[in-house]
Structure 1
Amino acid sequence: MKYKIEKNTVQETLIIPLYARKVCLELYPNLYRDETAVRLIDEIDYDFSEVEKNSRSPMQRFGSLEVAMRQNDLAFEVRDYLKSHPNAAVVNLGCGLDSTGRSCDNGSCKIYNLDFPDVIAVRNELLPAGEREENIPCDLNNTEWFRKIDSSNGAVFFASGVFYYFLTEQVKALVQQMADAFPGSVLVFDAANRTAVKMIAKTWLKSAKIQDVGAYFAVSDAPQEISAWDSRLQVTSRGYMLGYTDLKDPSVSGFFRFLARVGDGMMKMQIVKIRFGGKQ
């Protein structure tokens, strides 16, 4: 039996990024692997014809490349942390149907996947928690979930495409509370400047009836801007299209490499890494 997902439901919002990851693998096989996405697409009863048609346009293909690079970058940072903290908690904030935690599994870490209850309900059907893994239904802004994370051996938190939908004050409050609760741990996420966030917002402004895009989270110089929030934050950033790879692969056109430079440069598309001061 395939898992049926209806049109115009919250569950449908999980389909688009999942399908994008499948397209990434098909278009850029040397750069990106995600067999879980391919398997899940096969297990879901949904009319993919419109998504498939849209995925063929050049800008959608570049969007798929963005998704691939973002996932690779975050996975790189998770694996890097696990080298020095092999028994750490690996925490996927706003996980959807993403399997990055599993792809980084070193055999001894603990994996936590967090999202809204209706999303976790779908995940439990399609990606039930494995050994050393837990799917946690929650609102990220309600810090009750902190108590469910065993960070006694360190913790690396990551969020993919999540904080654009948060108000700046919400991100700041969450980061400060995490600094209190998880000293010595690391938070990694993607971010962009105000211009880029306005472009991203065009896709969700209408449905969310958002009036003031300026209130939403955007950064240009993350180390300077975010460090000013709290003295315990050690902040670094790298461009997320070219900061971890040169994209010199036959599957990536010269035009796409140019767009990648624009993204990292003018749009300040970046992977932000915050280390919370304290022992671990």
Structure 2
Amino acid sequence: MQEKKIRIEKNSVQETLIVPLYGRKMCAEKFPDLYNDMSAKKLCEKLDYDFSEQEAKKDSFAYEFGALEAAMRQLDIMYEINDYLKTHPKAAVVNLGCGLDQTGKTCDNGSCRIINVDFPDVIKIRTQLIPVGEREKNIACDLKDYSWMKEVAGDNGAVFFAAGVFHYFKREDVKNLVLELSRRYPGGRLIFDTVGKKGLELMLSKSLKNMGISDVGGFFSVNNAARQLNWSDKIRVTSKGYMLGYYDMKNPGIKGAHRFLAKIGDSLLKMAIIRMDFSA
């Protein structure tokens, strides 16, 4: 019997999960030497959704670069998670604003605990699509409602990560969340991506316009991590370029123009991966 597909309506909150999912699927197909996670493809096959718009664009230079962007972010974050698990093998690996992302499973070392946190409607779809593993838990909660932290034990360490999430937060909301995590999880680590103000304007112009927001000034952007994220003497902040900070992208199929745009993204748009280590 054919498995019933999960319907995703156009112009719904759930549809926002499709863009990064399809980007990862496409990158795995186009650049397998760089990114070989096929889980996104399997998920797309479980969805009742019209992908014709994405399919029509998938061979365009801009769409290819967008897929590379999604994949590089995931690879960078995975690097930092795996680095933390070397010294904290039984840690909680916590995906903040998880959507349909399976980074936790990809980094599973056989002894860590995997926790996914997102809004209830997102977790509902995730639960239908992605089986929960033996050491895995889904938590349906707004990240700004810290009650979800009661379900995350940090006794054996905790590494938190947020991919493409904090751009939509107000600066104070990010700061408050970071300080709360540092207080509750000494010895823990937080990893997330940021862009500068100009990059944020380019990235969010369409989505914020649809929300009726014209000024991105209050939203979270970072031009200088050391200066702007110096929130506590108990938090050590380091950052690397998002596109080329971890990998040189010298892989088959990746054009020179892609790498040139990647340099612009890291230098001018201030695309970065931020790592915060909390003092024990």
- Deviation (angstroms), 1:189: 0.4
Is 1:3 equivalent to 2:6 in the alignment? yes
For 2:261, the equivalent position in structure 1 comes to 259
Is 1:154 equivalent to 2:154 in the alignment? no
Is 1:179 equivalent to 2:186 in the alignment? no
For 2:65, the equivalent position in structure 1 comes to 62
**TM-score between both structures, scaled by the size of structure 1:** 0.97
For 1:73, the equivalent position in structure 2 comes to 76
CA distance in 2, matches of 1:112, 1:203: 31
- Deviation (angstroms), 1:223: 2.2
How well do the aligned residues superpose, as a CA RMSD in angstroms? 0.9
- Find 1:43's aligned residue among 43, 46, 49: 46
Q: Give the 5 Å matches for 1:195-210.
A: 195-210=198-213
For 1:248, the equivalent position in structure 2 comes to 250
For 2:237, the equivalent position in structure 1 comes to 235
Q: Give 5+ residue unaligned stretches, structure 2.
A: none
Percentage of matched positions with identical amino acids: 52
Matched letter for residue 179 of structure 1: S
**3-state secondary structure, aligned to 1:214:** coil
CA distance in 2, matches of 1:263, 1:247: 14
Q: Give 5+ residue unaligned stretches, structure 1.
A: none
CA distance in 1, matches of 2:8, 2:269: 34
- Find 1:120's aligned residue among 108, 113, 123: 123
Q: Which aligned runs of 4 or more in structure 1 are off by greater than 6 angstroms?
A: none
Matched letter for residue 175 of structure 1: V
- Find 2:140's aligned residue among 137, 141, 145: 137
- Deviation (angstroms), 1:7: 1.4
Matched letter for residue 124 of structure 1: T
**3-state secondary structure, aligned to 2:206:** coil
Q: Give the 5 Å matches for 1:14-25.
A: 14-25=17-28
CA distance in 1, matches of 2:8, 2:82: 33
**TM-score between both structures, scaled by the size of structure 2:** 0.97
Cα deviation digits, residues 135-189 of structure 1 (max 9, x gap): 1111101111111101110000000000000000110111111111111100000
- Deviation (angstroms), 1:119: 0.2
CA distance in 2, matches of 1:270, 1:6: 32
For 1:111, the equivalent position in structure 2 comes to 114
**3-state secondary structure, aligned to 1:105:** coil
CA distance in 1, matches of 2:266, 2:209: 27
CA distance in 2, matches of 1:54, 1:144: 41
Q: How many residues end up aligned between the 2 structures?
A: 277
CA distance in 1, matches of 2:203, 2:268: 15
Does 189-198 or 199-208 show the bigger shift? Answer: 199-208
